[in-house]
Amino acid sequence: MEKITKNTNRIKRHRRIRSRIFGSAKIPRLCIFRSSNHIYAQLVNDEKNKTIISADDLKIKAPKTTGKPEDIKTRKALIAFEVGKLIAEKAIAEKIEKVIFDRGGYQYHGRIKALADGAREGGLKF
């Protein structure tokens, strides 16, 4: 019997979402993966099963914080916002303006929303 965890439920939600959305060369899918420490975003062409552009927070410097738990959550959201702007920058350079947003089974708030807002501010439309 399979143990039901938060991640297995997220994967089930993601499968339902993926059954309805599909990225192409003109309008790729912006998919997001969020771990406990990092956030990753990529533009995917589902027709060819290829990643067109990717961005992550591994090289983005975190802003200084006081060390309080509230500041840590804010810091992660600020980093996610920067990742959104970075992927939008790269997409605009590749002449991609429109994308389909794939939240990856995560709730649309916090870091996921911050990344989407950063991508919108960077010039992507979805």
Residue with tokens 């990856």: 104
Are 56 and 83 spatial neighbours (Cβ–Cβ below 8 Å)?
yes
Per-residue pLDDT at 63 = 74
Question: Which whole number is the average pLDDT over 114-126?
Answer: 95
Band of pLDDT at residue 69, cut at 50, 70 and 90: confident
Structural domains present in the chain: 6-122 (3.30.420.100)
What is the enclosing helix (H) or strand (E) of 31? strand 29-34
- Whether this prediction's pTM lies above 0.75 is answered by yes
Task: Summarize pLDDT for 20-65 with one digit per residue, the tens.
Answer: 999 999 999 999 999 999 999 999 999 999 999 999 999 888 777 7
Question: Which whole number is the average pLDDT over 83-96?
Answer: 96
